A and B are shown apart, each in its own frame.
Chain A
């Protein structure tokens, strides 16, 4: 069974600092997704990573994928308060459209 682990689960940062969220998964996958969830809201798609070595960047967020290590990272550069949210990674199992989510990383950016 596909398992997805994120760490850390909780992250409190100062504005302006950098940090990385990690997403490990247990079986071969060909698609990895990052989503953002604001309190009381549903999930919004941030990135789709389609191949080994893929890197996507949007503003202060950058996501990368290493399929051999079964690892994705979401790097935050010079954090700002607006980035406070819960970030989920999700993995699509290889040759399958089944998608499983990590437990989420609750990010709080403090002034």
Chain B
């Protein structure tokens, strides 16, 4: 597609429920990132997928968080048993990952705003 698409744009859920957030990167972009941004805060790295390599999960805050990327394209971030502190905007970004010599600028989606009541 023309840009990075995220859904839903807004999600309100009750504490303890599971949520799934979806990211559809730009076609041909092999690198995909998830970040979390709490209100008024910076970007917190969650997970990074690069091609067929094992993802870098070092930023996932707890085992309630998981992500997968199917077929090297669409990614789903799943948060189980949501807590109020999970409330944030979850941003997805992709880049073409043109090797180590490329500029590899990130293109961000509009984000999914999660509110846990």
Interface residues of A (CB under 8 A from B): 30-31, 33, 35, 41-45, 48, 50, 88, 90, 92, 95, 97-104
* Complex contacts, A43 vs chain B, CB 8 Å: 43, 91, 93, 106, 108
Kindly specify which of B13-21, B66-74, B77-85, B96-104 makes contact with the partner chain.
B96-104
Can you spell out 21 A-B residue pairs with CB atoms less than 8 angstroms apart? Answer: A31-B103, A41-B110, A42-B91, A42-B108, A43-B91, A43-B106, A43-B108, A45-B105, A45-B107, A88-B42, A88-B43, A97-B31, A97-B50, A97-B95, A98-B45, A98-B48, A98-B56, A99-B48, A99-B106, A101-B42, A104-B42
Interface residues of B (CB under 8 A from A): 31, 33, 35, 41-43, 45, 48, 50, 56, 91, 93, 95, 97, 100, 103-111
Contact A42 B111 (CB under 8 A): yes
B41 to chain A, nearest CB (A): 7
Contact B108 A99 (CB under 8 A): no
Besides A43-B91, A98-B56, A101-B42, 17 more A-B contacts (Cβ < 8 Å) are A33-B106, A35-B106, A42-B91, A42-B108, A42-B110, A43-B106, A45-B105, A50-B103, A88-B42, A90-B106, A92-B104, A97-B48, A97-B100, A98-B45, A98-B48, A99-B106, A101-B35
* Complex contacts, B93 vs chain A, CB 8 Å: 43
Pick the contact of A101: B45, B104, B105 (CB < 8 A): B45
Minimal Cβ-Cβ distance residue in A for B109: A42
